[in-house]
Amino acid sequence: MSRRKLQFPSWLPIDPYILALIGTVAVAALLPARGTAADVAGGASTGAVALLFFLYGARLSTAEAVEGLKHWRLHITVLACTFIAFPLLGLAAKGVVPFVLTPPLYNGLLFLCLVPSTIQSSIAFTSIARGNVPAAICAGSFSSLAGIVVTPVLAALVLGNSGGGFSADSLLKIVLQLLVPFLAGQLLRRWVSGFLVRHKKVLGYVDRGSILLVVYTAFSEGMVRGVWHQVSFVRLLGLLGVEAVLLAVMLTLSWYGAKRLGFDRGDRIAIQFAGSKKSLAAGLPMASVLFGAQASLAVLPLMLFHQMQLMVCAVIAKRRSRDPLHEEVETPVLSATATR
């Protein structure tokens, strides 16, 4: 008798990378890096972040970015969702402190609201929903590019010194560890792009491995400093509730706001998926630079939100894929989870 393979429902995706992140957190909890090992891990993490953003810069085609600027209204709308609407909602969530969220968790939530949009999942869900895929590609790329500068600047404005040691020195670290490698990648793209294309699969593992190293270093430091004693199960439930409301508001705002601005169905889908998401790949390295010892708590809201957005947007994308292309279907996104 053959065993049945355990499978998750198709509408409830469990990202394998999230499982890897959870495993990394567990290893950091059981075997945190201390002393010399912590110094080595910290140095390796710094190098991994620089390499990560060098690869981001080397992969971004300047010609494609310029071509994508032709659809400027859509890109401005996505940027407004990512860097204006999200931060305003994050600031409004201050009202739940300290009743629902502790100040450190709130800082992490606020940082989540400042992170750029994701690229891969926005493109995938836009494709499933039969939306404007080229627009989603350009919108996600522009958001990630803008986030290298905009996210640290917004963090300086709204977080100040409350971000676990955030200061002008953190901005300098951002420039040296993120912006300089990114610009170097752009400058050297002409010579290294062929190598990157030929070894795309291997470099994908380098990307993800670098982020896992960043997570291990941050959570190790948090464990050594006793940061996790500040979090209780009730607080985690409160954080999930706040994030669920945040995601629902942004999904609704991006969909109906795009309609009011006169975008067609395909563009509205691209705007909804690019404008309601946050990038784990971009956010984790930035948090490690901005928050120092508090990075483990700062990235927790982002890690939870990332998986939540995948699960909810998978349901919405499959529902949109059944929409007749010749007409607009106005069922609110908040009811999407009621399907199936």
Answer whether the bond into residue 104 is a cis peptide, omega within 30°.
no
Residue 336 pLDDT > 50: no
Average pLDDT over residues 161-178: 61
In a domain, 78, yes or no: yes
Q: What is the separation, in whole angstroms, between the first and last Cα of the chain?
A: 31
In a domain, 335, yes or no: no
Give 114's contacts (C-beta < 8 A, 6+ positions apart): 83, 86, 87, 90, 150, 151, 154, 155, 158
Residue 93 pLDDT > 90: yes
Residue 340 pLDDT > 50: no
Q: Which residue has the higher pLDDT, 41 or 296?
A: 41
CATH number for 237 = 1.20.1530.20
In b/e form, how buried is each residue of 131-151, taking b as 16+ CB within 10 angstroms? bbbebbbbbbbbbbbbbbebb
DSSP, collapsed to helix, strand or coil, labels residue 167 as: coil
Give 112's contacts (C-beta < 8 A, 6+ positions apart): 90, 243, 278, 283, 301, 302, 305
Residue 37 neighbours by CB distance under 10 Å: 12
pLDDT digits (tens, 9 = 90+) for 271-303: 999 999 998 878 877 887 777 666 777 788 988
In a domain, 336, yes or no: no
- Contact in structure between 143 and 117 (CB atoms under 8 Å): yes
Average pLDDT over residues 193-220: 79
pLDDT digits (tens, 9 = 90+) for 314-333: 889 888 888 776 544 444 44
- Structural domain boundaries, residue 98: 16-322
In a domain, 291, yes or no: yes
How distant, in Å, are the alpha carbons of 33, 36, 74, 167 from that of 39? 8, 5, 45, 22
Residue 94 pLDDT > 70: yes
Helix (H) or strand (E) holding 286: helix 280-291
The CA distance from 332 to 340, in Å, is 16
In a domain, 250, yes or no: yes
**Mean pLDDT computed over every residue of the chain:** 79
Distance of CA 101 to the CA centre of its chain: 21
pLDDT digits (tens, 9 = 90+) for 111-134: 999 999 987 778 888 888 888 887
Q: Work out how many domains the chain is built from and give that number.
A: 1
- Looking at residue 333, what is its pLDDT? 45
What values do phi and psi take at 118, rounded to 5? Answer: -85, 160
Q: In sequence order, what DSSP letters do the residues of 128-139 get, joined into one string?
A: HTT--HHHHHHH
In a domain, 189, yes or no: yes
DSSP 5: P
- Looking at residue 267, what is its pLDDT? 93
- Looking at residue 13, what is its pLDDT? 53
pTM over 0.85: no
In a domain, 333, yes or no: no
In b/e form, how buried is each residue of 244-283, taking b as 16+ CB within 10 angstroms? eebbbbbbebbbebbbeeebebbbbbbbbbbbbbbbbbbb
Average pLDDT over residues 14-39: 80
pLDDT band at 140 (very low <50, low <70, confident <90, very high): confident
In a domain, 4, yes or no: no
Nearest to 316 by CA among 244, 251, 262: 251
- Looking at residue 270, what is its pLDDT? 93
